[in-house]
């Protein structure tokens, strides 16, 4: 863990406050059990996609003025990912580093690897675990058979998602990508003009900005 300290360090307190308000993460995707050509069975499990993980943590991080970054870099067939948070004081706390061999991966597979590692890095760095929908449903059915089941109380989320603040964070990340000289080999004038125009749009959708960030990261750009 790497920590860039400020004179009045507050980032640890901010992180503790944010973690106390993270939402539960439900496994919302399923990989069906399949059999490969050599007869081996794979799949048959559920997982939470990266969008679900971000929805669980981003509102609380925003509330306590914490900026989340996942800086992907590819060098000599090695994919490196640094997950970090920073605050308004300029403090930076690196939560985890991943170094993964991507030799021989095509662009499509590389995109999947990056998304996979980003997701599991977030879960590991913030000490999160996913709840299994199937497990919850099975428990519900069993209790209903004996008349014991009561619908659990649903607590209102402690944080209201601030879409405008999240848009600013995504625009900030895109600007970092565009201004990093190391990215010149990846970002053509066409891509740069497109990204710049999206940032300037007042009515740009959050999903569009997130997609732009994902595409830049998958291209191998660094922050």
pLDDT tens-place string over residues 73-131: 888 888 899 999 999 888 888 888 888 888 888 888 888 888 888 998 898 888 887 65
Q: Using a cut of 0.75, tell me whether the model's pTM lies above it.
A: no
pLDDT tens-digit readout, 38-75:
777 767 778 888 999 999 999 999 999 999 999 888 88
What is the rounded distance in angstroms from the CA atom of residue 215 to the CA atom of residue 209?
Answer: 10
Phi, psi of 88 (to 5 degrees): -70, -15
Q: What is the mean pLDDT of the chain?
A: 78
Q: 6: pLDDT confidence band, cut at 50, 70 and 90?
A: low
Range with the largest mean pLDDT of 29-43, 99-113, 160-174, 206-220: 99-113
Domain ranges across the chain: 1-32+45-132, 162-223
**Cα–Cα dist 125/112, whole Å:** 20
Distance CA(109)–CA(10), nearest Å, equals 39
The residue that leads in pLDDT, 142 or 128, is 128
Report d(CA 179, CA 211) in Å as an integer.
18
Q: What is the mean pLDDT of residues 178-193?
A: 86
Structure tokens belonging to residue 25: 């993460």
The confidence band for 2, taking pLDDT boundaries of 50, 70 and 90, is low
Are residues 59 and 91 in contact, defined by beta-carbon separation less than 8 angstroms? no
Cα distances from 52 to residues 12, 85, 109, 131, 206, in angstroms, run 24, 19, 21, 12, 15
Q: What is the dihedral of CA 122, 123, 125, 128, to 10 degrees?
A: 140
* Host H or E run for residue 85: strand 78-86
Find how far residue 20's CA is from the centre of its chain: 18
Question: DSSP readout, 108-177?
Answer: HHHHHHHHHHHHHHHHHHTT--EEPHHHHHHHHHHHHHTT---PPPPPPPSS---HHHHHHHHHHHHHHH
Question: Which residue is it, tokens 């597979």?
Answer: 109
> CA-to-CA distance for 148 and 133, rounded, in angstroms?
19
Residues constituting the chain: 223
């Amino acid at each position: 863990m790497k920590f860039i300290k400020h004179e009045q360090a507050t980032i640890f307190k901010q992180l503790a406050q944010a973690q106390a308000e993270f939402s539960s993460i439900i496994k919302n995707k399923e990989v069906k059990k399949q059999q490969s050509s050599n007869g081996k069975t794979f799949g048959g499990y559920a997982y939470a996609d990266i969008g679900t993980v971000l929805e669980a943590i981003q509102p609380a991080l925003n509330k306590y003025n914490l900026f989340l970054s996942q800086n992907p870099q590819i060098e000599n067939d090695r994919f490196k990912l640094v997950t970090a948070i920073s605050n308004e004081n300029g403090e930076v706390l690196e939560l985890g580093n991943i170094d993964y061999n991507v030799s021989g991966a095509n662009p499509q597979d590389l995109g999947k690897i990056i998304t996979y590692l980003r997701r599991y890095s977030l879960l590991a760095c913030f000490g999160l675990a996913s709840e299994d929908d199937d497990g919850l449903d099975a428990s519900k059915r069993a209790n209903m058979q004996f008349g014991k089941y009561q619908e659990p109380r649903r607590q209102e989320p402690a944080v209201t998602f601030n879409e405008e603040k999240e848009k600013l964070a995504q625009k900030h990340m895109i600007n970092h990508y565009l201004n990093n000289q190391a990215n010149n080999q990846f970002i053509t004038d066409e891509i740069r003009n497109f990204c710049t125009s999206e940032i300037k749009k007042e009515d740009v959708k959050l999903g569009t900005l997130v997609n732009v960030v994902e595409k830049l990261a998958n291209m191998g750009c660094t922050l």
